[in-house]
Structure 1
Amino acid sequence: MAKVFRSPARHGYAVEVSPFFPGRVACVASQYYGIAGCGTLFVLDETDSGISLVRSWQWGDGLFDVGWSETNEHVLVTGGGDGSLQLWDTANHNAPLRVAKEHTQEVYAVDWSQTRGENLIVSGSWDHTAKVWDPAFSRSLSTLKGHEGVIYSTIWSPHIPGCFASASGDGTLRVWDVKGAACRLAIPAHKTEILSSDWCKYDQNIVATGSVDCSVCVWDLRNVRQPVNQLQGHTYAIRRVKFSPFTKTVLASCSYDFTVRFWDYSRNQPLLDTVEHHTEFVCGLDFNLHIPKQVVDCSWDETVKIYTPACLSTGAAP
């Protein structure tokens, strides 16, 4: 059974589990499905009986993505519909610590670097640019241009310092070198918009993409002529893909078809499980880094759910 947190009149866009606290989750949600109105950042704790609200903050525009600091357990970054990034501290009840506004359209993706000795944020926007930031937020360190469409996803490599991937409405997955401020690889990964991407936690060459074409493609960056595997099963656009932090070839995807699906891309029949416990688009998804097999998701149906899918709990997956 899933534990459920309800966010009345707030439609979930993204969730991320704290890298420091096993039961702590951040969720960003927006009024009116993100089309109008304000956004809310929720910090939640899993308890024995359910999910409790630690703190919440309002922002004057929709909030679309969230990332925890990898160096300070109390700090988070969010991306907003007004083109700004906001830095929040769970010890500060009232307002963001800092706000940076350079993007000219919605910020749809934020991510905090994980590699040792690096403390950077990357943002991706509907203005077709990605920006790299120091958490001091005085101004961006670099602006990376090359995409010909909206950027929906920016994800740091967990292996290679100064390297991130971006996914765009132009159908390409791009890999960027921050030090050189250059695109090192552009993959025509789908013929339609790509809404999400993620790096394998165990192999620096493996990246997954999720698209409006209802498929997840797994790519080996050393040979991008065709995907390693194409995972078919969703019936509407895939909103987010996430690799397991515990099993090299297992990943999850959530979709506008109201489902979350679990895959093992190394198998001939890769689909492990389909979870149908939402009544609206599922937009946010994350694995718990501390609790093997636990998953968190959020939906436009105004709920955040924490659960263990059957395929992982029964040992059907490696």
Structure 2
Amino acid sequence: MFSFRTQGYNGYNLKYSPFHDSRLAVAGSANFGLVGNGRLYVLGLTANGIVAEKTFDTQDGLFDLAWSEVHENQVVVASGDGSIKLFDVALNDFPIQSWHEHKREVFSVHWNLVDKTTFASSSWDGTVKIWSPERPASLTTLPTNSCTYSTAFSPHSPTLLSAVSSDSHLRVFDTRLPAPHTVHQIAVNGAAPPAEVLTHDWNKYRPGVIATAGVDKVIRTFDLRNPHTPLSILSGHNYAVRRIAYSPHLPDTILSASYDMTCRVWNDGNAAGGTGGGDTALGQCLGVMDRHSEFVVGVDWCMFGAEGWAGSVGWDEMLWVWDVRGVMR
């Protein structure tokens, strides 16, 4: 394992560069994001360990980030003051673009993986917005009417994007449709008492399959062709699940980060091509990484090299880069 300390700043998320196998970025906040500044770290993986190539300080805490899919040096960050900022690693000090339309904390940003010219943000103000780096104002606003923790574009379509919120719902939007663009609105935990959904991710190999997780500690997968019943349920975390990510290499593997201070790797229990028409499957925990000493709130997979390398960040001010295969039973 390799490690780096974001001293004075609690990590909120990290992302590997889609262009460089040795570069990643971390969004951090002072004082656990409650009050104080934020810092964006751009880090390099070297023969001598992880080194800071550049840092950018912000006036409020940073909660998420996303690398541009077009410009290898640009990264967008989500801020607690409701702003979104675009930084260029090749330039110093100031963001090259800034937007401030959200009325509350921006908790998620995600770049369009298919179209590549737009990105999305979600906020506690109950909206998802779509942006172009070339435009001074948002292109589209999608209402969720509840505190929205996570948004993501589909890796299979340029017009599909999803969001999960405090009202226990997963929403899927298609920007080709008339407003409000809603395709699906799924009650994630069914008839159970509502529980905030904090995170979700699209399967990179199976179009229409989405995993969700949140306060009730359970990871669920859904197939949009039959969204009324979960495809599978993955249980094992002891506290809320803060972040999940499907593997870019394997269609049935999920990585999760939790307030129980662990990262876990899972088999989602779904046979490739399943439609969710049968009984809900039970996923299997394949291993646990427990090097963090505080809440783990961010994970990401490396797309390069041998499959299985990942990174995680937490409120212990630590970034760990590790081989998932090393913790799998």
TM-score bracket, shorter-length normalisation? over 0.9
**1:305 partner amino acid:** W
- After TM superposition, the structure 1 = structure 2 runs for residues 121-132 of structure 1, keeping only pairs within 5 Å, are 121-132=119-130
Q: Which moved more, 1:289-298 or 1:60-69?
A: 289-298
- Inter-partner Cα distance in structure 1 for 2:15 and 2:153: 15
Match of 2:262 in 1: 259
Q: Give structure 1 stretches of 5+ with no counterpart.
A: none
SS at match of 1:258: coil
- Inter-partner Cα distance in structure 1 for 2:90 and 2:283: 47
- Cα gap change, 1:91/1:118 in structure 2, threshold over 3 Å: closer, same or farther? closer
Match for residue 231 of structure 1 among 231, 234, 251:
234
- Inter-partner Cα distance in structure 2 for 1:175 and 1:78: 23
- After TM superposition, the structure 1 = structure 2 runs for residues 200-279 of structure 1, keeping only pairs within 5 Å, are 200-266=203-269, 270-279=284-293
- Inter-partner Cα distance in structure 2 for 1:27 and 1:251: 21
- Inter-partner Cα distance in structure 2 for 1:241 and 1:7: 22
Q: Which runs of 4+ in 1 moved over 3 A?
A: 313-316
- Inter-partner Cα distance in structure 2 for 1:285 and 1:118: 22
- Inter-partner Cα distance in structure 1 for 2:135 and 2:105: 18
- By how many angstroms is 1:48 displaced? 1.8
- Cα gap change, 1:94/1:184 in structure 2, threshold over 3 Å: closer, same or farther? same
Kindly indicate whether residue 293 of structure 2 is the aligned counterpart of residue 290 of structure 1. no
Tell me how many residue pairs correspond in the alignment.
311
- Inter-partner Cα distance in structure 1 for 2:48 and 2:135: 39
Match of 1:80 in 2: 79
Kindly indicate whether residue 50 of structure 2 is the aligned counterpart of residue 51 of structure 1. yes
Superposed CA offset, 1:231-275 (max 9, x none): 000011100010000000001110000000000012755110011
- By how many angstroms is 1:177 displaced? 1.0
- By how many angstroms is 1:162 displaced? 1.2
**1:90 partner amino acid:** V
- By how many angstroms is 1:109 displaced? 0.4
- Inter-partner Cα distance in structure 2 for 1:150 and 1:23: 35
Question: How much identity, in percent, do the aligned residues show?
Answer: 36
Superposed CA offset, 1:18-37 (max 9, x none): 00000111100000000000
**1:56 partner amino acid:** T
- Inter-partner Cα distance in structure 2 for 1:163 and 1:225: 19
- Inter-partner Cα distance in structure 2 for 1:99 and 1:179: 27
Name the TM-score, length of structure 2 as normaliser.
Answer: 0.92
**1:270 partner amino acid:** Q
Match of 2:98 in 1: 99
How big is the alpha-carbon RMSD for the aligned residues of Structure 1 and Structure 2? Answer: 1.3
Name the TM-score, length of structure 1 as normaliser.
Answer: 0.95
